[in-house]
Amino acid sequence: MDKKRRDMIRIGSALSMAFAAGILKVGDVFGAEWSAKVFDAKSLDAVLKALGGDKFAVSPDITITAPEIAENGAVVPVAISTTLPKTEYMAILVEKNPSAMSASFTIPPGTEPNISTRVKMGTTSNVIALVKSDGKWLIATKEIKVTLGGCGG
């Protein structure tokens, strides 16, 4: 048996015992609970309501980095960053997708509020960065033109 395999067995055994003893919960290891209400929402207002918010403001302190034109809507790179203090949450919404919410991230205290991922876009649409900072909901918007659809196109 090689060392890597033995290490994996050791780690797996330790995690199994921690789960069985109740020391660890699945959410502690694999991330926060998935919220179907948020990801099934069809608009920014519906997403915000599902997250427990009621209003938002446009902020110049949120930056969306993404291409002006995406040649393939199946893999559009999008990054969001902000200089806002006490950032707790960041999300990427695609306005014209069947489900507006594409990705969400909880930002731990002391972490630099900067995320990046790839999203799927069915057609040219506004991409919305939703940020919760110091208890306030803020947004920024950028239009991305899609030349080849990613949601079934």
Residue 149 per-residue DSSP state: -
Range of the domain at 62: 32-146
Answer yes or no: do 83 and 25 share one domain: no
Q: What is the pLDDT of residues 54-79, one digit of tens each?
A: 888 999 999 999 999 998 889 999 99
Same domain, 97 and 107: yes
Contact 102, 94 (CB under 8 A): yes
Determine the Cα angle at 119 with ends 82 and 151, to 5°: 150
Instruction: Sort 96 into a burial class: Cβ within 10 Å, 0-12 / 13-18 / 19+.
Output: middle
Number of domains present in the structure of the chain: 2
**153 falls within a domain:** no
Residues in the chain: 153
Specify whether 46 is located in the same domain as 75.
yes
Rounded Cα distance, 153 and 151, in Å: 6
Query: Which CATH number does the domain housing residue 115 bear?
Result: 2.60.40.2470
At residue 53 the predicted structure's pLDDT band, cuts being 50, 70 and 90, is: confident
Residue 12 shares a structural domain with residue 79: no
pTM over 0.75: no
Q: Which of 32-36, 83-87, 123-127 has the least mean pLDDT? A: 32-36
Both 68 and 131 in one domain: the answer is yes
pLDDT computed for residue 41 by the predictor: 79
Percent of the chain with pLDDT over 90: 46
> Which among 97, 102, 99 is positioned nearest to 153, based on CA atoms?
97
Task: Enter the tokens of residue 53.
Answer: 């918010």
Rounded Cα–Cα distance for residues 85 and 136 (Å): 11
Q: Looking at the structure, do residues 82 and 131 belong to the same domain, yes or no? A: yes
For residue 151, being part of any structural domain is answered with: no
23 with 82, same domain: the answer is: no
pLDDT range class, residue 153, cuts 50, 70, 90: very low
pLDDT digits (tens, 9 = 90+) for 7-24: 888 877 877 777 677 776
